[in-house]
């Protein structure tokens, strides 16, 4: 009986804790369907009295029609940059993670530490050197340039995650595949890699969302419609004398929506992947 009471109390505490951190998200969603005249009213109106889609119309089509619409282009740019960087980082990081997990070489631990340290560097501190370097290479204000930066930043994270997943797989499986005639490449691609499918899905989701939501580097490296991403595009709802809170909330909701749908769709893989790689033997 006492154990059940403790579980109920813990559940209530966790629910309150989670609700506290979801209040900003809920407020953004409510503001996106709120009449513009209700947004800046004091005292605050928590729930919209007049539900409207005008903020979404402004976010998607602009204020004067489709010719002014930009945010959907920005979302497409975000999707393109995030997809390219996810594919590249997952490919490179998975191979690196397998190497760190299975092979011994000089300065292995130091190199692994350096990789993790690279990921810890704030993106804003890299933005100005990257801008100068990219201007020289002609990669500034391009999706390719942005995707390459995201790949470089996310590959250490993938390496760290996948190394943990590979450590959970007994090395005897590798040895058995060698006995059956597999070389190192075949053992990796046909035997070991399929066993980490849940880890691959979980890791890909994390790095996709990191790229999808990235702001500081994209803010510096992108300047035109051809490459500007959605997080940067939200700032276009701010002007010198006016902030369109409704349009900004609608754009933010649109930015969150794909992430919510994608995460909900593959949540079982996230749970299995994180559980699989949670404990190292």
pLDDT tens digits, residue range 24-33? 888 888 888 8
Parse the chain into domains and list their residue ranges: 2-66, 70-276
The percentage of residues in the chain with a pLDDT greater than 70, rounded to a whole number, is 89
Instruction: Label residue 2 by pLDDT band (50, 70, 90).
Output: low
**What six digits make up the tokens of 21?**
């951190």
* Rounded Cα gap, residues 11 and 134, in angstroms: 50
The percentage of residues in the chain with a pLDDT greater than 90, rounded to a whole number, is 9
* 8 Å CB contact between 89 and 154: yes
pLDDT-wise least confident of 104-113, 209-218, 245-254 = 104-113
**What six digits make up the tokens of 89?**
């980082």
Mean pLDDT of 104-111: 76
- For residue 75, which of 253, 202, 204, 242 has the smallest C-alpha distance? 253
Specify the pLDDT at position 89: 93
Candidate CATH numbers 3.20.20.410, 1.10.640.10, 1.10.3720.10, 3.30.460.10; the one for domain 70-276: 1.10.3720.10
- For residue 206, which of 143, 162, 158 has the smallest C-alpha distance? 158
Longest Cα–Cα distance of the chain, Å, equals 74
């Amino acid at each position: 009986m006492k154990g059940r009471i403790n579980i109920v109390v813990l559940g209530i505490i966790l629910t309150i804790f989670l609700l506290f951190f979801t209040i900003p998200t809920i407020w953004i969603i409510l503001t996106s369907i709120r009449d513009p005249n209700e947004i800046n009213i004091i005292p605050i109106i928590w729930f919209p009295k007049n539900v409207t889609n005008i903020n979404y119309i402004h976010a998607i089509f602009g204020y004067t029609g489709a010719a002014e619409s930009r945010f959907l282009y920005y979302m497409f740019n975000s999707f393109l940059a995030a997809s390219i960087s996810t594919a590249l980082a997952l490919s490179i990081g998975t191979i690196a993670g397998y190497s760190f997990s299975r092979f011994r070489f000089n300065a292995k631990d130091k190199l692994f530490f350096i990789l993790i340290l690279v990921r810890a560097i704030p993106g804003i501190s890299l933005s100005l050197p990257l801008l100068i370097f990219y201007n020289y290479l002609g990669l500034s204000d391009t999706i390719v340039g942005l995707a390459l930066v995201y790949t470089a930043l996310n590959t250490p994270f993938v390496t760290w995650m996948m190394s943990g997943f590979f450590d959970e797989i007994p090395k005897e499986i590798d040895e058995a595949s060698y006995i059956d005639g597999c070389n190192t490449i075949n053992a990796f691609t046909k035997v070991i890699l399929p066993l980490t499918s849940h880890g691959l899905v979980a890791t890909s989701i994390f790095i996709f969302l990191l790229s999808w939501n990235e702001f500081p580097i994209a803010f510096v490296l992108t300047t035109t419609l051809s490459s500007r991403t959605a997080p940067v595009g939200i700032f276009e709802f701010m002007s010198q004398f006016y902030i369109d809170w409704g349009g900004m909330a609608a754009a933010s909701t649109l930015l969150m929506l794909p992430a919510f749908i994608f995460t909900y769709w593959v949540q079982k893989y996230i749970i299995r992947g994180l559980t699989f790689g949670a404990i190292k033997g």
